[in-house]
Amino acid sequence: MKLLTLNSSLLNFCIYGLGSTGRSVEKYLKNKNFSNVKVWDDKIKTKREKKIFSKYLDLSDYIIISPGISLKSAKLKKKLIKNKNKIITDIDLFYLLNPNIKSIIITGTNGKSTTCKILEHVLKKNKINVKLGGNIGKPVLDLNLNGSPFVIIEASSFQLAYSKYIKPDYAAILNITNDHLEWHGSMKEYINSKLKIFSNQDNNNLAFLNNKLLIKKFKKNKYQSKLKYVNKKKYVHLQKKINNNYLRSVVNAENMSYIFEFSKVFKIKENNIVASLKSFRGLNHRHEIFYKKNNKIFINDSKATSFESSKFALGSNENIFWIVGGLPKVGDIFKMNKVKKNIIKAYIIGNYSKYFKKYFKNKIKFELSKNMKNAVSTLFKDIKKAKQKNMTILLSPASASYDQYKNFEERGNEFKKLIMKYAKKNI
């Protein structure tokens, strides 16, 4: 690993993308006295600035690219491709400038944020100095490292695709299913991006996996870290002991198996783990039970942006009135057979109703609602007439939000607001 030091002030850095990550990198480099820092965002429209930055890309030592920027569609894609060997991420920079930091990187298609938050919670409850950052919200370069904390990093496939220098002490892939294929181009490339968390590990490091395909690839690639197989069946008895309905659910079985395995690294006793988890409240928009009344449970699962992520909620609840729809993921397939018995009716929202109709036709009852307000309004009329004693009202869109919303948070918040408005009058 090519380490960077404060004596490397003559290095030239280019930052491509000025969202929260790009701004974080810019601030960090300047605070570390790296003076040769140039920035660019595709929203900049002047030809002169574009031409100048294009030249800087050729002169740069490192190009730090923001997550989500694709070499296929970036305005300066030809220059980026030409200088591809220089491209790194903010997580790379974090490791290059903090080579002695103790860390874990957690990735996977589903459950990353929840698992990271649970682990942070357990470690803090057991008096371990820990910081959490990455894809979960706070960029890693914004973390306060005073006191040499243990760092948990949630990493997306976008971040990992360009990564070269990450070297976590512990690395985990929770699961892998079709996702972001429109960006990566293929399932193979998507998987390869995830596997990068093991690339620089040595035999003092640990790799956590539970997927047979990934384990096979791990061995084929001859990664140097020690492989730990995570078997969720092994921890069923411990999960049942947790005095927390959210964490005892089937939805969190996989997440909890990793938590128990991670906790062994820190030599935390099983009883202490169980006790710590009593106070964990879960994350917003991830199977968030935000309201209960008269045998009706209202769940905001707006973060479920593929069928694979929605099927956990669909498989763990019964008598479901399901709000679904949005921008479908490339390569996503709705396998309804195992969950259709739990669904009373689906309400399709968003601009891609035809996509969902083809999977639901002759399998479940559904209605085209177009938008969230129509769906909630009709839903309350239906639950008034319903004969089931216990009901689940579920927003789990199984698709991205960008056809109607800025992000999944905005979608989830609108759902919760409408539910509370209608619930006051109708329950």
Residues 70 and 115 in one domain: no
For the stretch 137-185, pLDDT in tens is 799 999 999 998 999 999 998 899 999 999 999 999 998 886 776 767 7
Q: Which residue has the higher pLDDT, 420 or 190?
A: 420
DSSP characters over 245-305: HHHHSGGGHHHHHHHHHHHHHTT--HHHHHHHGGG----TTSSEEEEEETTEEEEE-TT--
Residues 101 and 36 in one domain: no
Q: What percent of the chain has pLDDT over 70?
A: 97
The rounded distance, in Å, linking the Cα atoms of 397 and 303 is 8
For the stretch 54-74, pLDDT in tens is 999 999 999 999 988 888 889
The rounded distance, in Å, linking the Cα atoms of 299 and 284 is 10
**Average model confidence (pLDDT) across the chain:** 92
Residues 251 and 352 in one domain: no
Query: Is the pLDDT score of 1 beyond 50?
Result: no
Asked if 117 and 132 count as a contact pair (C-beta separation under 8 A), the reply is: yes
Residues 402 and 307 in one domain: yes
The CATH number that applies at residue 58 is 3.40.50.720
Containing structural domain, residue 344: 288-426
Residues 155 and 273 in one domain: yes
3 occurs within a structural domain: no
Q: What is the pTM of this model?
A: 0.84
97 occurs within a structural domain: yes
174 occurs within a structural domain: yes
Q: Which residue has the higher pLDDT, 245 or 127?
A: 127
1 occurs within a structural domain: no
Query: Is the pLDDT score of 8 beyond 70?
Result: no
Confidence band of 253 (pLDDT split at 50, 70, 90):
confident
Residues 144 and 165 in one domain: yes
319 occurs within a structural domain: yes
6 occurs within a structural domain: no
Residues 108 and 36 in one domain: no
Residues 202 and 237 in one domain: yes
Q: Which residue has the higher pLDDT, 391 or 9?
A: 391
Domain count along the chain: 3
For the stretch 28-58, pLDDT in tens is 999 988 889 999 999 887 888 889 999 999 9
The rounded distance, in Å, linking the Cα atoms of 5 and 35 is 13
The rounded distance, in Å, linking the Cα atoms of 119 and 113 is 10
Q: What is the pLDDT of residue 213?
A: 92
350 occurs within a structural domain: yes
Residues 273 and 129 in one domain: yes
Residues 385 and 415 in one domain: yes
DSSP characters over 300-338: E-TT--SHHHHHHHHHH-SSEEEEE-SBPPTT-----TT
Q: Which of 72, 12, 62 is nearest to 42 (CA)?
A: 72
5 occurs within a structural domain: no
SS3 content of the chain, % helix, strand, coil (to 5): 45, 20, 40
For the stretch 356-377, pLDDT in tens is 999 999 999 999 999 999 999 9
The CATH number that applies at residue 349 is 3.90.190.20
Query: Is the pLDDT score of 94 beyond 60?
Result: yes
